[in-house]
Copies of this chain bind each other. A is one copy, B any other.
Amino acid sequence: MTPPTEQTGENSAVPPPVRRRPGGRTSRTRAQVLDALRAELGERGYDELTLDAVAARAGVHRATVYRRWRDVGGLLADLFEATRDDDWQPQDTGSLQGDLAALNHENQAALTAQPSIAAALVAASFRSEEAARGVRRLWEDRYARCEVIVSRAVLRGELPPHTDARQLLVAATAPLYHHLILLRTPPDPGLPDRAARTAVLAAAAGAFATPPPTGGAPA
């Protein structure tokens, strides 16, 4: 991701041996390249992605891309990084099942859009360890933002106070990803709602209850 700043040594003698230049041209190049990457991912798909095409589309020389991102994995990792800082947040529909269903509908739309950047990103995450780390952090960020869905439901009295938010969210969303990404079955318009309903039923049956915070135990 961005320039590998390995310089951060712990020694006290040499503070910053290399003065970076994050301004003007550098950031402009990054923006151009990431835009070109998104466009290529969408149009040509992941497996036909070449660094060369990205560089050409960005109006930048190939060597520049190779130098700064090294390979496709590095490029994608940086894209994850850039994707991560937006202001997305889950809708508030007024009910747990509605919130989860809305989330699923949004995901289904993103994953089945004809040139799907989301699907390309998932495919890409298998490319390199670097990209895998990037996608892991992206998922973590998104699930963290979704936890508010659960806390809202608790406040409304729809769920018991000690509910494992992550487990509930995963139960509600995993079937969708499973079908669209792993099984590769054609999109089922009813699936988002069914999966949400199933998770809510399981939650009502106490499937995601965490052990009550009984007084401080040892250790």
User: A residues touching B (Cβ–Cβ < 8 Å)?
Assistant: 46-47, 73, 122-123, 125-128, 132, 135-136, 139-140, 167, 170-171, 173-175, 177-179, 181-185, 194-195, 197-199, 201-202, 204-208
Contact = CB atoms under 8 A, between A and B. Distances in A.
Contacts of A47: 73, 126-128
A205 B179 CA distance: 23
A179 B170 contact: yes
Nearest to A202: B202
Contact of A198 (B122, B135, B139, B171): B171
Given A128-B47, A182-B177, A202 B198 contact: yes
Contacts of A135: 184
Count this chain's copies in the assembly.
2
Contact of A171 (B126, B171, B206): B171
Contact of A175 (B132, B170, B179, B182): B170
A86 to B, nearest CB: 20
B123 A126 contact: yes
A25 B87 CA distance: 60
B202 A208 contact: no
A148 to B, nearest CB: 19
Which residue among A173, A183, A195 has the maximum number of chain B CB atoms within 10 Å of its CB? A183
A175 B207 CA distance: 14
A167 B199 CA distance: 12
